[in-house]
Chains A and B, each alone.
Chain A
Amino acid sequence: MTTFYNQLRAKLMDNNITDRMEKVPYRNLPKKWSFIALVFLLTFSFSQSAFASTSFLPTQAVDTAAGEKLFKANCAACHKLYKPATGPALFEVGDKYDREWLYKWIRNSQELVKSGDATAVKLFNEYNQSVMTAFPTLTNEDIDNIIAYTYTKKKTVAPPPVDPATAGGGGISNNIILAILALMFLMLIIVLVLVNKTLRRFAEAQGVELEEKEKSTPIWKAFVENQFLVLSTSIFLLLAAGYFAYGWMSQIDVNQGYAPVQPIHYSHRIHAGVNKIDCNYCHSSARKSKTSGIPSLNVCMNCHKNIGEVAAETLAEGQSEYGVDYNAEIQKLYAAVGWDEATQSYTGEEKPVKWVRIHNLPDFAYFNHSQHVTVAGVECQTCHGPVEEMEILEQHAPLTMGWCINCHRETNVNVADNEYYEKIHEELSKKYGKERLTAAEMGGLECGKCHY
């Protein structure tokens, strides 16, 4: 296989050379021609690699794989292939500039700008005068490889066929199953009644005497006459009513499982789960203030300035499993923050995103994030559940007073290296006569701690 590939490659190189020889007289032909030649070459090559087919052909074989590696390590922070980023899009950059000029520019662009090179100055000003880092260590060969990589065609992944039955999510199909079950249940009852009727008719026709029930005292009369039964039943009913009333009342304003639809579909699963971004990265005020904060959009843009679209696989997964087009959601973010992708700048037209608050303590209870996150060192997941697995965020804990108190009773206060509690811990451990103290023993159950 490899030898076959090598032969093919050698053949391609031959093609290239003849191509070059033919091209020399027609140097002024439109760029289209070189593009067509490139497409021709690409169709005959098995790999994604392409060879620069324009006037300056590298003297030795270029290695697009090495170029890709170098590109991703050095250039990709500011350059994308098909879209402008901090710097221009680099697709087919070898056609746009002279190769020698590119060598100079990449090794030290600022020197070139300062020397007054017209192309360099124009380019520098065009891209907001952001200084391109100098790469003095890249050899000509390296740069050739990178440029060869920039000829890689954009991969187009056909969108997966969306199955209308599954696209709507689990809700519809569940309902259908329930309806079918109910229908079957109903039919069963009808059949039973019919069978019963026919049997009776049969019995009548055959002259079989059906046992007639004796007329006894009706059951309710018997029940009323038995005073003990009445007493115990009423006690039972009262208790049951009390139980259900208590259950019903204690779920008032308990929002466990509350998962509202947000204006922008933000997947905690992708951000905190797949990409393992620390919760504190976005909710940075949880470390030092009362609330964990809703991250402002500039925090989103720290990454999404660079990530304008998700990977093809992620997109397909979102569409098939959750019915969400992640790219459209990123566009919503850009619209809200006023980011123009084409010019890579903020337009100043902002539309606030009206996020729906999920965790909401009533105003008569005081809760402080920093005291739990920074001082006590409680993991976010202890209260918020497995957020890193939630595609749509939902309230995991009931956030009731009993729930708070349970945790305060069970959790030992981490006093190691914690100056906040050094003194009080010493005194209290003497008082209670034990080494480890729970939050409750340090006053975590006092009414005034939370209700002020």
Chain B
Amino acid sequence: MKRILTIALLFSASITMVSCFDSDKPNYQYMPNMYKPVGYETYGEYEVFDNVTGGSEAMLPAPNSIPRGWQPYDYPDTNEGRELAKVELTNPLPVTQKNLDKGKEMYDIYCGVCHGDKGDGQGILVKNEKILGIPSYADPGRVITEGGTYHVQMFGLNSMGSYASQTNEEERWQITMHVMNLKAALEGTAPLEIVAPAEDVDGGIAATDETETLEGGDTQEGDDHENEEQH
């Protein structure tokens, strides 16, 4: 009888030990002072901010502040602004293989789900009938230009939202470059001409200067890694 009791006790003990971790709650910590940040974390909720934002650390930047590497964009988010951008605005980046590759990469992430890898409006969301009516870039009803493509990425159009929060200026222009190539392929015309790649490798001053001013945070981060490794 006693033995049965001990077995039962051991059994229940092991069960409670195994079922201890509750997947709804994080595990316990030892000396949490070492784990928790001293500073406020980006999306953290803190009492200090109760009167400012209702507790959230994340705040809007001060009005009229400009992020590093960001260039002002003067065309307003109106029909007139779009028409003007369509006519006036051109791609400041040189057509290089690197820019085109990056453009394709970004396009496949952000645009391809709806517009399709070929720009024919047959992305996976369209095929799954989640979002419908995505036009082909070669649609005769719309005249797609570099400026227009950039403007729409910046502000969105109709059901399409703005992609300004997910991409930076350089990436948007690289995507534009890829879109123009897709459009050319759909219409059967010649793709963009790649400017002499030799010049790019040599570090053609004009080209690199341009990308550096545009790239901002991105380039800097890359440089940091390089430096880190060399020290």
Contacts and interface: CB of A to CB of B under 8 A. Distances in A.
Interface of A: 71-79, 85-86, 129-131, 133-137, 189, 193, 249, 251-255, 257-261, 274-278, 280-281, 284, 288-289, 291, 294, 296, 298-299, 301-303, 305-307, 311, 352, 354-355, 357, 360, 362-364, 370-371, 375, 394, 419-421, 423-424, 442-443
Interface of B: 1, 4, 21, 23-30, 34-38, 42-43, 45, 54, 56, 79, 108-110, 113, 121, 124-125, 128-135, 140-142, 156, 158-163, 165-167, 217-218, 221-222, 225-226, 229-230
A288 B131 CA distance: 29
B124 A259 contact: no
A419 B219 CA distance: 12
B221 A288 contact: yes
Q: Name the residue among A86, A274, A284 with the largest chain B CB count within 10 angstroms.
A: A284
B24 A298 contact: no
A30 to B, nearest CB: 33
A299 B23 contact: no
A253 B162 CA distance: 40
Which 9 A-B residue pairs are closest in the complex by CB-CB distance?
A77-B133, A76-B132, A76-B133, A302-B161, A284-B166, A362-B35, A86-B158, A363-B37, A278-B109
Nearest to B132: A76
A252 B29 contact: yes
Given A281-B113, A306-B131, A424-B229, A301 B161 contact: yes
Given A129-B79, A257-B23, A77 B134 contact: yes
Given A275-B124, A294-B43, A302 B230 contact: no
Nearest to A282: B166
A437 to B, nearest CB: 12
Q: Name the residue among A136, A362, A375 with the largest chain B CB count within 10 angstroms.
A: A362
Contact of B34 (A73, A354, A362): A362
Contacts of A301: 161
Contacts of A79: 133
A73 B43 CA distance: 40
Given A277-B113, A302-B160, A77 B28 contact: no
B125 A77 contact: no
A302 B163 contact: yes
Contacts, number: 156
11 contacts: A76-B133, A77-B134, A133-B141, A137-B141, A252-B28, A258-B23, A289-B221, A305-B159, A362-B34, A364-B35, A424-B230
A72 B132 contact: yes
Contacts of A280: 109
B113 A275 contact: yes
B145 to A, nearest CB: 15
Nearest to A303: B131
Contact of B125 (A73, A259, A303, A360): A303
A354 B134 CA distance: 33
A77 B159 contact: yes
A72 B27 CA distance: 49
A298 B23 contact: no
A104 to B, nearest CB: 15
B23 A394 contact: yes
A258 B28 CA distance: 12
A364 B33 CA distance: 10
Contact of A133 (B28, B109, B135, B217): B135
A323 B139 CA distance: 43
A77 B161 contact: no
Contact of A77 (B1, B132, B230): B132
Contacts of A360: 26
A72 to B, nearest CB: 5
A364 B38 CA distance: 10
Contact of A354 (B45, B159, B165): B45
A72 B125 contact: no
A301 B217 CA distance: 26
A43 B218 CA distance: 62
A411 to B, nearest CB: 16
Given A275-B124, A288-B218, A307 B27 contact: no
Nearest to A87: B158
B159 A306 contact: yes
Contacts of A442: 229
A261 B129 contact: no
Contacts of B113: 275-278, 281
